[in-house]
């Protein structure tokens, strides 16, 4: 084929800055910096990787006398289009966005990009930075590095931040859950499809739809049913899991796909939409509806879920040894149980302070399939049961953090489960799998080396946000030890440990 060349590298200057937040809230700092730039006449785009944190930054910006609009998935399409038009025409001076504005949309000239979070990989960093300085203007790019393991790693090794390789984006072409949605949409359009003329993965997708009552197979043909159209209308070609529709009274005001929705839309959760504050009154997983009510916009707290994860099934597809430790990769069935929630001070600086902890009378349960790896960690001779739990759980956290470097994972792409028997499960958070866990499986040696640097270099007593704490931990960062994780990882890399438990045992820790 013909080689088509794009334009050469744009003219002009781009100034890239790494900012050490030094314990201050990255969200407050991003809003404050945007206010300074906007008041100097610059047009600003702020990126976050979390829908709710984009809302929070825009809300905090109000306190600094500027009005930032929000652009993210989950908002009604009309709202997103309106924000794009206002930014393009100059009617607004700034927007806080999730990756929805990374590329592909004409939003006009942007003077400065602020990354409130370190992007999951260098490709995304360059995409976001590239939104600034168009039309031969000087581009200002700021990245806030805060209190988390990988940000701390790059603060120690700043040259590595800008010398990273550009890796291709990861996706799993065998994700049956994605294929089911496309196959059902195609069937709803055609009504009848000849199975003999389809690739094997498509045939598998239709067989699963038939087993689930979403289609009907007769001989070599698959037929659409009323349930086919119902299934298509309940999901989206741009998503993987079932979609929760968010209603204020009778008006649909947003949506969130599962299982991520369980991190945001549990009962009594505080949920932000277009800078408006809502309280979740009810979540119905059968009807896929969350009911919310409008609250005072100045509520001084936000919420996070308390939850557990359990591995119900594991079907091995691959296996390898990493420093002599057996590691398996395969299909998994997981159970997520939301037990309650925590409240946090919205304007906290430094370490988050829990205000209250609440538990439900009955947990909210959701079962789904994905892909992931299982590490069969050895036992440390002089560790007791609690020691092992603290070592494995902390190592799970720090390996997931290291996946941001070695596999281009975002903060929420992977989840984990630790067992006191030494088995650590790290899985793709999205239903069906995304391929990120597979990359971690293939590059686990490098992840252990980065993890060792993290737990070795931190100056905390025995665990903090700079090393082994995770903002997405299901049990509020209990049973964690940086020192014991260092001992485990160091001994694994040096090949000092041999004894291990063959079977998965004990209560899981998410």
Show the tokens assigned to 293.
Answer: 């009510």
Predicted TM-score (pTM) of this structure: 0.80
Q: Is the dihedral of CA 493, 495, 499, 501 positive or negative?
A: positive
Distance CA 470, CA 10 (A): 39
Provide the pLDDT for residue 344: 81
Provide the pLDDT for residue 147: 83
Distance CA 398, CA 403 (A): 9
224-233: average pLDDT: 86
Provide the pLDDT for residue 117: 92
Provide the pLDDT for residue 41: 92
Q: Across the chain, what does the average pLDDT equal?
A: 89
Residue 11 predicted with pLDDT over 70:
no
Provide the pLDDT for residue 201: 87
* Domain covering 14-146 assigned CATH 3.40.50.300 in the classification: yes
What is the pLDDT confidence band of residue 451, given thresholds at 50, 70 and 90? very high
Provide the pLDDT for residue 148: 87
Distance CA 399, CA 376 (A): 14
Residue 178 predicted with pLDDT over 80:
no
Provide the pLDDT for residue 1: 47
Residue 8 predicted with pLDDT over 60:
no
Q: Please say whether the beta carbons of 180 and 242 come within 8 A.
A: no
Which range among 162-171, 404-413, 456-465, 482-491 shows the weakest confidence by mean pLDDT?
162-171
The angle subtended at Cα 359 by Cα 353 and Cα 362, nearest 5°, is 155
Distance CA 47, CA 58 (A): 11
Provide the pLDDT for residue 3: 55
139-152: average pLDDT: 91
CA 123 to chain centre: 17
Residue 510 predicted with pLDDT over 90:
no
For 510, residues 6+ apart whose C-beta sits below 8 A from its C-beta are: 307, 308, 309, 415, 416, 417, 473, 474, 475
| pLDDT tens track for 212-228 | 898 999 999 999 998 89
β-partners of residue 333 are 313, 369
| pLDDT tens track for 339-397 | 999 998 765 554 556 678 999 999 999 999 999 999 999 999 899 999 999 999 999 99
Of 248, 101, 275, 71, the closest CA to residue 265 belongs to 248
Residue 165 predicted with pLDDT over 80:
no
Provide the pLDDT for residue 411: 82
For 470, residues 6+ apart whose C-beta sits below 8 A from its C-beta are: 397, 400, 401, 477
| pLDDT tens track for 71-84 | 998 888 889 899 98
Please state, for a pLDDT cut of 90, what percent of the chain lies above it. 60
Provide the pLDDT for residue 172: 63
Provide the pLDDT for residue 7: 47
Provide the pLDDT for residue 107: 76
Show the tokens assigned to 90.
Answer: 């100059």
Provide the pLDDT for residue 130: 86
244-270: average pLDDT: 94
280-298: average pLDDT: 93
| pLDDT tens track for 96-135 | 999 888 876 767 788 999 999 998 888 889 889 988 876 6
Provide the pLDDT for residue 109: 83
Backbone angles phi, psi at 181, to 5 degrees: -65, -45
Backbone angles phi, psi at 287, to 5 degrees: -90, -10
Provide the pLDDT for residue 4: 46
Can you give the three-state secondary structure of 478-509, one letter per residue?
Answer: CCCCHHHHHHHHHHHHCCCCCCCCCCCCCCCE
Q: Please say whether the beta carbons of 294 and 277 come within 8 A.
A: yes
* Strand bridging mode 69-71 / 251-257: unpaired
């Amino acid at each position: 084929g013909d080689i088509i060349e794009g334009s050469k590298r744009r003219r002009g200057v781009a100034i890239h800055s790494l900012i050490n937040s030094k314990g201050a809230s990255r969200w407050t700092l991003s809003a404050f910096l945007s206010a300074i730039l906007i008041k100097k006449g610059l047009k600003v785009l702020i990126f976050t990787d979390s829908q709710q944190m984009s809302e929070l930054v825009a809300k905090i910006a109000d306190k600094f006398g500027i009005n930032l609009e929000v652009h993210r998935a989950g908002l009604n399409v009309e709202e997103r289009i309106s924000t794009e038009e206002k930014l393009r025409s100059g009617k607004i001076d700034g927007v806080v966005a999730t990756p929805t504005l990374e590329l592909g949309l004409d939003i006009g000239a942007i003077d400065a990009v602020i990354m409130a979070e370190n992007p999951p990989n260098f490709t995304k960093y360059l995409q976001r930075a590239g939104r600034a300085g168009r039309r031969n203007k000087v581009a200002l790019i700021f990245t806030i590095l805060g209190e988390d393991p990988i940000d701390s790693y790059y603060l120690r090794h700043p040259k590595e931040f800008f010398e990273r390789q550009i890796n291709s984006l990861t996706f799993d072409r065998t994700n049956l859950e994605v294929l089911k949605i496309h196959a059902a949409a195609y069937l709803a359009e055609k009504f009848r499809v000849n199975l003999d003329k389809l690739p094997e993965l498509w045939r598998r997708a239709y067989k699963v739809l038939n087993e689930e009552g979403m289609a009907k197979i007769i001989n070599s043909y698959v037929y659409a049913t009323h349930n086919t159209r119902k299934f298509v209308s309940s999901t989206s070609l741009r998503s993987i899991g079932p979609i929760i529709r968010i209603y204020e009274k009778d008006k649909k005001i947003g949506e969130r796909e599962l299982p991520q929705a369980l991190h945001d839309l549990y009962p009594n959760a505080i949920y932000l939409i277009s800078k408006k504050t809502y309280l979740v009154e009810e979540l119905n997983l059968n009807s896929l509806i969350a009911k919310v009510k409008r609250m005072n916009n100045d509520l001084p707290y936000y919420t996070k879920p308390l939850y557990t994860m359990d591995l119900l099934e594991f079907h091995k597809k691959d296996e390898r040894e990493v420093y002599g430790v057996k590691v398996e990769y395969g299909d998994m069935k997981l159970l997520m149980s939301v037990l309650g929630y925590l409240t946090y001070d919205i304007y906290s600086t430094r370490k988050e302070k829990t205000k209250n902890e609440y538990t439900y009378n009955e947990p909210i349960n959701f079962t789904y399939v994905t892909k992931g790896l299982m590490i069969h960690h050895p036992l440390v001779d002089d560790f007791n049961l609690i020691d092992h739990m603290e070592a494995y759980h902390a190592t799970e956290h720090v390996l997931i953090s290291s996946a941001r470097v070695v596999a281009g994972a975002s903060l929420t792409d992977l989840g984990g489960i630790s067992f006191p028997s030494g088995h650590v499960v790290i899985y793709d958070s999205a239903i069906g799998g995304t391929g990120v866990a597979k990359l971690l499986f293939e590059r686990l040696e490098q992840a252990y080396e980065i993890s060792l640097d993290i737990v070795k270099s931190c100056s905390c007593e025995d665990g903090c946000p700079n090393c082994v704490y995770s903002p997405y931990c299901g049990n509020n960062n209990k049973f964690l030890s940086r020192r014991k994780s260092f001992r485990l990882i160091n001994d694994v890399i040096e090949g000092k440990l041999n004894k291990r438990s063959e079977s998965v045992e004990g209560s899981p820790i998410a």
